[in-house]
Chains A and B, each alone.
Chain A
Amino acid sequence: MIHSLFLINNAGDLFLEKHWKSVISRSVCDYFFEAREKAVEPDNVPPVIRTPHHYLINIYREKIFFVSVIQTEVPPLFVIEFLHRVAETFQDYFGECSETTIKDNVVIVYELLEEMLDNGFPLATESNILKELIRPPTILRTMVNTITGSSNVGETLPTGQLSTIPWRRAGVKYTNNEAYFDVVEEIDAILDKSGTTVFAEIQGVIDACVKLSGMPDLTLSFMNPRLLDDVSFHPCVRYKRWESERVISFIPPDGNFQLMSYHISAQNLVAIPVYVKQNISFFETGSSGRLDITVGPKQTMGKTVECLVVTVHMPKVVLSANLNATQGTYNYDPVTKILVWDIGKLNSQKLPNLKGSLSLQSGAPKPEENPSLNIDLKIQQLAISGLKVNRLDMYGEKYKPFKGVKYVTKAGKFQVRT
């Protein structure tokens, strides 16, 4: 199972190590550094690295490499999933997962890691349970602890640890009982030069924030559940009822959690909310080029497209850009070679346009590769797939909760080729 964990920052400093079995010398990380150097970009470090006696499985999150060491045959996905869980737990506890916060809370981090794995076997990874065992730091609690001498470690056995619903703690009590659901959809798409969709799919999630007293039993139903044929559920969801009735029935964890994720594949028609007309060309002579991009609404279902950003990865030889935007602001970073055009709200009356010239390194040959455009956008109150929640019912408790559903559509990996 998982033997050790090393946290390494972007500069290659190893700033935390944790061993769940015997201690493994940190020199094992040299193999990682070697791979890191070879990969050039931190994103490109291969997730599984083989060394003579160990395997290093790593993830890269928030500019930190989580490098785990294993010695025997362990499912790599198991390790990777666990590492993600570690990163999420840090995020959950400290508000952000960064080198600074980890260093600031090193003892809690250590306690958490000890609680999450025993001898390499996962012990408690549900945030609900962990929070009962080790309370997250808050300024108030630290002050109270200092005065009263009490600690931030729970004294009792976390109730969820052994029940058949390990994700929920007992004795939850709220004065305002509320349950909110966010349906968030991301469009992953590739459009070709002419604007034709090469590939498009929707990744959706339903995030929940449930603050309900006692043991509520919820049922969520959809107007059009047939849209969902590829779903992954939080362990709390009763799969059998979904299979037979297409409703989501569950006893929720307390607080924030992801209820389900779904995937609507390229086979179904995925609506593309914007179109992009672009022309980026480089001249054979004169070390210059032209750029002309226009963005317009396509299938927006009558909603406004907001937070529209176009990002262009320019070839290395592009030195600067002299452009004129009819709307929003643009910025070209000559180091990373990334042009960012922040448009904001899309005005369908007057389409935003970015036009002008690019200057190239003098004497350099005309670049061979075509730059590619990435689009970012957001549409409030719309799930682009058309998914709609029908109703939410609660059983098991007597009070009347507040209920709410929000929809939002975003661009995921939305790419336009040139």
Chain B
Amino acid sequence: MTDSKYFTTTKKGEIFELKAELNSDKKEKKKEAVKKVIASMTVGKDVSALFPDVVNCMQTDNLELKKLVYLYLMNYAKSQPDMAIMAVNTFVKDCEDPNPLIRALAVRTMGCIRVDKITEYLCEPLRKCLKDEDPYVRKTAAVCVAKLHDINAQLVEDQGFLDTLKDLISDSNPMVVANAVAALSEIAESHPNSNLLDLNPQTINKLLTALNECTEWGQIFILDCLANYTPRDDRESQSICERVTPRLSHANSAVVLSAVKVLMKFMEMLPKDLDYYGTLLKKLAPPLVTLLSAEPELQYVALRNINLIVQKRPEILKHEMKVFFVKYNDPIYVKLEKLDIMIRLASQANIAQVLAELKEYATEVDVDFVRKAVRAIGRCAIKVEQSAERCVSTLLDLIQTKVNYVVQEAIVVIKDIFRKYPNKYESVIATLCENLDSLDEPEARAAMIWIVGEYAERIDNADELLESFLEGFHDESTQVQLQLLTAIVKLFLKKPTETQELVQQVLSLATQDSDNPDLRDRGYIYWRLLSTDPVAAKEVVLAEKPLISEETDLIEPTLLEELICHIGTLASVYHKPPSAFVEGSRGVQHKRLPARAGSGESAESPDVGQSGPAEAPPAVIPSQGDLLGDLLNLDLAPPTATIPSVQPSMQMGAMDLLGGGLDSLMGDESDTLGGDIGGSPSMGAGLGAAPAAMPAALGSAPAVGGGLGDLFDLGGGVGMPTGAYVAPKTVWLPAMKAKGLEISGTFARRGGIIQMDLSLTNKAMSVMTDFAIQFNRNSFGLAPAGPLQVLTPLSPNQTIDVSLPLSTSGPVMKMEPLNNLQVAVKNNIDVFYFSCQYPLSLLFVEDGKMERQVFLATWKDIPNDNEAQFQIKDIHLNSDAASNKLQGSNIFTIAKRTVEGQDMLYQSVKLTNAIWVLAEMRIQTGNPNYTLSIKCRAPEVSQFVYQCYELVLKN
């Protein structure tokens, strides 16, 4: 006798017959009838019409019958809310039953009936059950709170159930604790900031105790909850790790992975030199490997997570390459993931093994897998430089197989290899060209065309090859069309004589016969470039391309950190932050790894800034992001800390700083240009480079020009008695470039202290807070000596004046012009960059008066080549007045000689970096023009010292 008998029907009509049976007097018949009803329900038949009859069977002593009726109720109460009320009394009565199983069952079922009216009746029984003497009832009630919250969140809060639930975390029974944690975690998900799970060392201790004794599922809930805690110090972190480690040997893989998450997060806080840190690292590998021998579905999730772990801490699995080797009967989704991890683990030590495997995979049956394997070979070549040659020859072997999709994939990756190692493997081009005809996929065709265009000068029949593609130009995909356009322009620039016709043909195809705006725009740009300035065109189109690096496929570090905090979750499977895909309404808190306490290390990765500029690795593709990141990081550190080295060379740095401004400058023009310019990387780079000069000029103009303008406005005459001259403030950062923040400022030297006087004006609509400032490296090592003191928030239309003391102990890098200073200011809105120029007099120190003898000796000692002469015009001062004025700015007169009505003033200046500047000023009575000769061992400063003279004397 099996349950399939419940599905048999008679002619009379099923419902009718069931109704009769349900109302039967015989217990047994009733039960059988309910079973039939349930059976129909499970396969999706509608038996809701029987509702009153089934509910009538609820009053019974038979537990099985009761359970069956409950099952039915849960399913249909929603569609029959009025009828469901009938059942309430029985529920309430059952909640008082002496048998805990019945009490629990009643409260559990009531929570599943998603009818508003019923929930009101549920509150009282639930309150009792949460405090029931039997833990089985309590743990069921805990889950019931989560159910009720799902139906009516407000009710749960009003009734104070959340507090009762929190109390259950301290329950004596581990299962109750686990369920309370699970319920709270679920509720917390819809209230991201509610701080429901208020974790403190006491609760953590209780959770850890419960962890050892509850079921495997409870362990998962508790571990996931633990992962949200931030330990106070490394010792607490270690003690939690020690208590969590045994979970790594659990048979349930979900427990293992949750434990891995907790450990990965908390070990971040442990000092690396600690013995325990190493022990922990060693303990993490075996459980991860074990996950790979589980069922394929588990393997898949495990592999997605291992992919993250390998990126964060490659050392854990670096010796376990072989477990990622693909087996013939792995499902495809496992194969692809394993391949990905193999590449991540590939290193010089194991590359031979990896390549042998990949070559093996390339002959497998599954096309997707074979393609990815071929791609993987290319990625190995890019990642492990020593293996590049071997990879290329492996790829050539594969091309010889003539299997169509293998050849195409191989060509795509060889293109990347060319970009990583230019001028090294071009000998294979001939082999590639042989396969030209078999390429039918856009990506492969585009790659081949790129290669032909890039190496046009080495391919004798490049023009023929490209011409052959041109025949079906309109049938090609955009990718191929764009590539073909660029390739032919390259070819033309390399071999202009033979290919003029070809280039005209492609330009007209692109601009006149195409309705693709990208293609048309690129066509026009080339056309104009070629027609107006072929030399510039050459520079743009044939510009040296930045090398590609293997890092491109790595997950960006901040995202990786967040994902590490989400190991074992859906986020980790999709490699996307939870906010990117969890149902919209819920806000999600971004999780960060805790910072390492103790030991001197501040960051995980070896920081370039610490290792010193000399060792700075050549950045492969310096991006604005790098610099931005550096400046941002710095804001977090105390301002006296050394400024991190800006990785790229100085010119790069300047470009990066101006990059932001460039965008806004370009912004206005882009409307008139229309469409996007982008396109090929070479194009982008070219366009970027050309206007770079312009904003540089623009950027400096307001600072200098404005300053001078103000000076002239003031007019001469009204000199200040003593003290250094301070220029009036000029606008350094206009509000429109900085999202409403306007910064004007000037520099002053007061009592031996250099100060940057800033006026910050908020021209935006919202309040600005969290100001911070940072300088780029500069010629004299100027750096803020303290934080930017903007204590109160800056409300709209408010201006605040701040004086920022500066030190000269910052890192030094020569700037152009010498007195240029690049500044980054951060507030709660964004980071802004500007550059300004400071008068060199800022750096004239107070003890700059040289001994006469020394002066003479030094003057003679400095070669005459270093002497520079300037004219200072329109000065109506006598020599004494001039001398006084200059002394106020720390230009000291050592001696004065009068020869034939001409006053000769000998003066000395000392800069903060101990450079001495010697000067001879000749003043002829009646002549407003002074002659100034400056001698200095660093002649490049002379120009700026002269500017200071002029500034000071004219005010």
Contact = CB atoms under 8 A, between A and B. Distances in A.
Interface string B43-66: 110000000000000000011110
B293 A263 contact: yes
A144 interface: no
A107 B108 contact: no
A23 interface: yes
A305 to B, nearest CB: 21
B570 A48 contact: yes
Contact of A230 (B216, B286, B329): B286
A50 B571 CA distance: 12
A17 interface: yes
Given A71-B583, A76-B301, A106 B39 contact: yes
B319 interface: yes
Contacts of B143: 118-119, 121
Contact of A119 (B146, B356, B582): B146
B204 interface: no
B323 A201 contact: yes
B848 interface: no
Contacts of B43: 15-16, 106
Given A119-B147, A374-B328, A104 B4 contact: yes
Contact of A106 (B6, B27, B578): B6
Contacts of B186: 1, 72
B326 to A, nearest CB: 9
A205 to B, nearest CB: 10
A240 B242 CA distance: 12
A152 B2 contact: no
A351 interface: no
A234 B251 contact: yes
Interface in B162-219: 173-175, 179, 182-183, 186, 189, 213, 215-217
B333 interface: yes
A223 interface: no
Nearest to B567: A75
Contacts of B136: 157, 161-162
Given A71-B583, A75-B569, A81-B253, A164 B39 contact: no
B298 interface: yes
A84 interface: yes
A263 B257 contact: no
A111 B67 contact: yes
A46 B64 contact: no
Given A43-B296, A43-B331, A50-B581, A369 B38 contact: no
B78 interface: yes
Contacts of A347: none
B237 interface: no
B928 interface: no
A275 interface: no
B295 A151 contact: no
Given A118-B108, A265-B289, A75 B323 contact: no
Given A106-B3, A107-B6, A203 B108 contact: no
Contacts of B401: 368
A232 B64 CA distance: 37
Given A47-B301, A106-B6, A110-B38, A157 B100 contact: yes
B682 interface: no
Interface string A31-67: 0000000010101101110100101001110000000
A375 to B, nearest CB: 11
A151 B64 contact: yes
Q: Give the size category of A's interface with B.
A: 35 or more
Contacts of B42: 16-18, 106, 109-110
Nearest to B406: A368
Contact of A164 (B174, B323, B333): B174
Interface string B330-360: 0111000000000000000000000011001
B101 A47 contact: no
A20 to B, nearest CB: 8
Contacts of A107: 3, 6, 35, 38-39, 68
A122 to B, nearest CB: 4
A77 B286 contact: no
B300 A46 contact: yes
B582 A72 contact: yes
B286 A229 contact: yes
Nearest to B365: A369
Given A75-B258, A118-B108, A265-B289, A231 B364 contact: no
B614 to A, nearest CB: 40
A156 interface: yes
B246 A17 contact: no
Interface string A259-284: 01101011100000000000000000
Interface string B265-288: 000000000000000000000110
Contacts of A267: 319
B799 interface: no
A173 interface: no
Nearest to A124: B215
Contacts of A201: 293, 322-323
Given A43-B296, A107-B3, A413-B329, A263 B71 contact: no
A166 interface: yes
Nearest to B36: A107
A387 B150 CA distance: 52
Contact of A75 (B78, B246, B257, B295): B257
A104 B2 contact: yes
A235 B216 contact: yes
Contact of A78 (B220, B246, B251, B573): B220
Interface in A84-131: 84, 103-111, 114, 118-119, 121-122, 125-126
A46 B333 contact: yes
A103 B7 CA distance: 10
A105 B297 contact: no
Most chain B CB neighbours (cut-off 10 Å) among A81, A149, A315, A369: A81
A39 B333 CA distance: 10
A115 B246 CA distance: 29
Most chain A CB neighbours (cut-off 10 Å) among B6, B179, B297: B297
A260 B213 CA distance: 18
A218 to B, nearest CB: 17
A166 B215 contact: yes
A112 to B, nearest CB: 11
A245 to B, nearest CB: 15
B328 A415 contact: yes
A374 B293 CA distance: 18
B3 A162 contact: no
Most chain B CB neighbours (cut-off 10 Å) among A26, A126, A203, A368: A368
B363 A266 contact: no
A58 B295 CA distance: 12
A414 B582 CA distance: 41
A59 B297 contact: yes
A329 interface: no
28 contacts: A21-B114, A41-B331, A43-B296, A43-B331, A44-B332, A59-B297, A72-B583, A75-B568, A80-B253, A80-B298, A107-B6, A118-B140, A119-B143, A121-B146, A121-B183, A153-B67, A155-B99, A162-B136, A198-B322, A201-B322, A232-B256, A232-B290, A265-B320, A266-B323, A368-B401, A369-B363, A413-B328, A413-B329
Interface of B: 1-4, 6-7, 27-28, 31, 35, 38-39, 42-44, 62-65, 67-68, 71, 75, 78, 99-101, 108, 111-112, 114, 134-136, 140, 143-144, 146-147, 150, 173-175, 179, 182-183, 186, 189, 213, 215-217, 220, 224, 246, 249-254, 256-258, 286-287, 289-290, 293, 295-298, 300-302, 319-320, 322-323, 325, 327-329, 331-333, 356-357, 360, 363-365, 401, 403, 568-571, 573-574, 578, 581-583
Given A15-B43, A315-B365, 7 more contacts: A75-B254, A77-B302, A111-B67, A157-B136, A162-B136, A162-B173, A230-B287
10 interchain residue pairs of minimum CB distance:
A230-B286, A151-B64, A153-B64, A104-B2, A77-B254, A122-B217, A47-B297, A78-B254, A239-B246, A266-B322
